[in-house]
Amino acid sequence: MGKLIRSAIVMLLLMTVITGVAYPLAVTGLAQVLFPSQANGSLIVKDGRPIGSSLMGQSFDDPRYFWGRPSATTPQPNNGTSSTGSNLGPTNPALTDAAKQRIDALHAADPGNAAPIPVDLVTASGSGLDPDISLAAADYQAARVARARGLSTSQVKAMVTMATTGRQFGVLGEPRVNVLKLNLALDGR
């Protein structure tokens, strides 16, 4: 039994060196060489400084900006150090209340818009950091943003198209609009 335990301890140490040290270092080395931008957080860099990550949603509630997915992180929305969804069940009244508040906020920012609101604008994302909205959600907001910025709707829609990604390889996932990239473009950055 003593010999078995010694073998087990040495095996655990050896396996830790292989899978816990050599393997992650090898992946880090290769990833840093092959995919340096992706491996370091897909940062958007302006004048040598990171001004955001194209994968990380930020929070917007100004009518001049496109709004992203509602975020359930605390204490502030889109908190990068505390990812989480709302974990509200489908029949929980708190879920319906939250949706109503978001609908009211969207209506208050755009009183004349009577179109039904795309569901992704009134439901919290899974990570609380979703960088994207659906094409429908961008369409819904385009006129409001154009009005608030004194632009034509077609100008804004052209910028939406620039920030749009289709299904990957034409089949995977969903077409979507990157909210941070779009808003940075609107600000001329």
Partner 1 sequence: MTPFDIFQVVLFLGVLLALVKPVGAYMALAFADTTNGVNRVGGKVERVLYRLAGVRADEQMSWRRYAIAMLVFNLLGVFAVYALQRLQQWLPLNPQHFGALTPDLAMNTAISFASNTNWQAYGGESTMSYLTQMLGLAVQNFLSAATGIAVLLAVIRGFTRRSADSVGNFWVDMTRCTLYVLVPFSLVIALLLSSQGVVQNFKNYVDVPLVQNTTAVETVKDAAGNTVKDAQGKDVTRSSTVTTQTLPMGPAASQIAIKQLGTNGGGFFNANSAHPFENPTPFSNFIEMLAIFLIPAGLCYTFGSMVGDRRQGWAILATMLLIFVPLAFGAIAAEQAGNPALHGLAVDQQASALQAGGNMEGKETRFGIAASGLFATVTTAASCGAVNAMHDSLTPLGGLVPMWLMQLGEVIFGGVGSGLYGMLAFAVVAVFIAGLMVGRTPEYLGKKIEAHEMKMASLAVLVPCALVVICTAIAVMTPAGVAGIANPGAHGFSEVLYAVTSAANNNGSAFGGLSANTPFWNVLLAVCMWLSRFLLAVAMLAMAGSLAAKRHVPPSAGTLPTHTPLFVTLLACVVIVVGALTFLPALALGPIAEFLMSVR
* Closer residue to partner 1 (CB): 124 or 146: 124
Q: How many CB atoms lie within 10 A of CB 175?
A: 13
Measured between alpha carbons, how far is residue 187 from residues 8, 65, 166, 181, 184 in Å? 60, 9, 24, 10, 5
CB 121 to partner 1: min, Å: 9
Phi, psi of 3 (to 5 degrees): -65, -40
Residue closer to partner 1 (CB basis): 5 or 108: 5
Q: How far is the CB of 150 from partner 1 (least distance, A)?
A: 18
CB 65 within 8 A of CB 77: no
Say how many Å lie between the first and final Cα of the chain, rounded. 67
Decide whether 158 or 173 has the Cβ nearer to partner 1: 173
Quote the least distance from Cβ 117 to partner 1, whole Å: 5
Closest approach of partner 1 to the CB of residue 67, in Å? 10
CB of 175 to partner 1, least distance (A): 8
Question: β-strands 176-178, 164-165: how paired?
Answer: antiparallel
Choice between 37 and 152, CB closer to partner 1: 37
- 118 burial (CB, 10 Å; 0-12 / 13-18 / 19+) is middle
